[in-house]
Amino acid sequence: MNKDYQTLHPLHVEDYGFDEMAYETGPYVPYKKEGAVYCAGGFPYLTPLWYTDWRDETLAWHYTCALYAHLNPSPLTIIRGPEAKKFLKENFVNNLDNFPIGIIKHGLICLENGLLATHGMLLHTAENQYEAYWHAPYIDYLFEQKKYDAELIDASERQYLFQLQGPRSLEIVEEVTGENLHDLEYRHYRDSKIDGNTVRILRFSMSGALGYEIHGEIQYAMTVYKKLMEIGAKYGMRLMGDVAYCMTNTPAGITQAGGDFQAATFMDEGFQRWKQAREGGADDGICDYDDMAVMDFLGGSVGQDISKHVFDPFECGLGHCVNLKHEFRGRAALQQRKENQTRKLVTLEWNPEDLTEIYASQFKQGEPYKPLDYPGGESSILGYFVSNMDYVLAPNGDKIGVAFGRVHSAFYKVMLSMASIDLAYTEEGTQVHVLWGEPGTRQKLIRATVVHTPYNRDRTNDVFDVGAIPCPLHMKGDK
């Protein structure tokens, strides 16, 4: 299936509708005319679960390029003013003193108790001006707790956000902008233009593959998307649906609060009171997915005890973002948590014989095991966010941690989980078990092996040799 990947499912722009009145998929992406299966409920607009099929789409970030455009609107908060940095430093765990303009940081906000509340991209865009993605509305709540000489602006619905990932993504972005972007380093961004309109190009990807984001003004979203389709078609690009997208981050070893596990904002009573007061009043325009972030469904063998669905940054692989050399919300707790860290993030590879037994149970009389119908990413399919947490057990049966759902990689031909487990078991090659299935249903112990994190160590965005990629603009010039 891999040999002819480039030409296997050619993108035909004419199969899609760009009618501005047809807002079922929102003003960001066109709709597929026939046979699209949509998810309703996750985002404000309907989002296709797949365009071709999940295998084909997940292979795109390995072979060509995958375009994902369903994170729209993305909560975007602009923080500006003389005390913008002061506000951020008091609330983000990151080191913001070493933060030049043009850099992307992974910005984390924790509760006073050190549990991860919200996280996303943080950009320094101008003097005294920052942009935070996916931190609203918690960041708005924090901002109101004190007086700062700064202002917060919700810009979520002013712009679009498109993600391109895969080895051909650079060429596509260069062709659409007409600019050589080979020198744009990992976790850097800069402005460019598409059809004369300013866009921002960010070198960043969820899958860890070479990847770029394009952010621009919302009124140009559809035309840019169409252009990306036309150019991308030449490179064998695939449009990516929600099922495939929810499978990007596990092989990359990047956990997500609100995606893989429960964000801790629900535990902040002050925030909850603030939210209730807001909801009673007029719409204040703040982009708010927080109702979804309080997971609608807690799944897995860990059960419904929500306290087992929240994590601090050290337990979920984000400890490197924490800078304890400044004063910030949750610092004391995080200091303590770091000193007493018992668990860390690993990747588990599931045993194929045991997986086959799960499938086999669907062909036998009696209660089957929890099925593996879908390749992973239950959140996307069900239309609401699922925190699926399964116990990880030592060979002697001790509970040594939890696994965050599972993802079937068609490229690596494995079933993978990210898991947070006791330090004693984190060495590569260690044999553990995952307890699969909700309490009260038929459960199965699945053998699993601790493997390297990230699993996709051979193709990471930060070390990708873009020098080996031809620049399509030069090639045009040569003719």
Partner 1 sequence: MENNCNDMLLNEQSVWHNPAARYDPAVNQYCRWETPSPMLQPWVYTDWVRETLSWKKGCYLHTFLSGCPCITVKGPDAEKLLSDHFVNGFTLEKFPVGACKHVIACDENGMIYIHGICMRVAENTFDTYCLEPLVPVMMNCGKYDVEKGMPDCGKDFIFQIAGPRALEVVEHAIERDIHDLKFMRFCSAEIAGCHVRILRMGMGGTLAYEVHGNSENLLTVYDKIIQVGTTYDMQRLGLLAYGCNHTENGFPQSGTHFTCAEREDEEFKACVKAAHLEEYLSEAYYGMELPLHGSMSDMGLSAYYSSPIEVGWKKMINWDHEFTGKAALRRQMDDPNTRCICTLEWNTEDILKMIYGYFDDDPDVPEEVVFPQNYYFSAYGNLADKVFDKNGNLVGKSSGFVYTAFAKRIITLGVISPEYNVEGTDLTILWGTNGTRQFPIRAKVARYPYLSLTKNRDYDMESVPHYHKI
Which residues here bind partner 1, judged by CB under 8 A? 1-4, 12, 15, 17, 22-24, 26, 31-41, 43-46, 49-50, 52-53, 55, 73, 156-157, 283, 285-289, 291-292, 352-353, 355-356, 359-360, 362-365, 371, 373, 381-384, 408, 410, 413-415
User: Which amino acid appears at position 186 of this protein?
Assistant: Y
Nearest in space to 133 (alpha carbons), one of 51, 215, 201, 209: 215
**From CA 113, how far away is CA 266, in angstroms rounded?**
13
CB 73 to partner 1: min, Å: 7
Task: Give the tokens for residue 110.
Answer: 């924790």
CA distance readout (Å), 23 to 19, 31, 100, 475: 8, 9, 39, 38
Residues 23 and 26: their CA atoms lie apart, in Å, by 5
Within 13 A of 421's CA, how many CA atoms are on the CB side?
31
253 in Cβ contact with 455 (< 8 Å): yes
Which residue, 181 or 410, has its beta carbon nearer to partner 1? 410
Distance of alpha carbon 325 from alpha carbon 113, whole angstroms: 18
Measured from the CB atom, the residue of 46 and 152 that comes closer to partner 1 is 46
Query: Which letter does DSSP use for residue 257 in this model?
Result: B
d(CA 262, CA 252): 19
Taking the complex as a whole, how short is the minimal distance between the CB of residue 310 and partner 1, in angstroms? 22
Give the nearest distance from C-beta 282 to partner 1 in angstroms: 12
Comparison of 24 and 462: residue with beta carbon closer to partner 1: 24
State how beta strands 47-50 and 16-17 pair: unpaired
Q: Which is nearer to partner 1, 185 or 291 (CB)?
A: 291
Least separation in angstroms between CB 5 and partner 1: 12
Instruction: Indicate the residue among 153 and 382 with the shorter CB distance to partner 1.
Output: 382
**Please, which residue, 26 or 107, has the CB nearer to partner 1?**
26
Closer CB to partner 1, residue 36 or residue 318?
Answer: 36
Closest CA to 403 of 360, 453, 441, 357: 453
Contact 200, 123 (CB under 8 A): no
User: What is the CA angle 224-227-231, rounded to 5?
Assistant: 140
Q: How far is the CB of 353 from partner 1 (least distance, A)?
A: 8
Closest approach of partner 1 to the CB of residue 74, in Å: 12
Query: Shortest gap between Cβ of 360 and partner 1 (angstroms)?
Result: 5
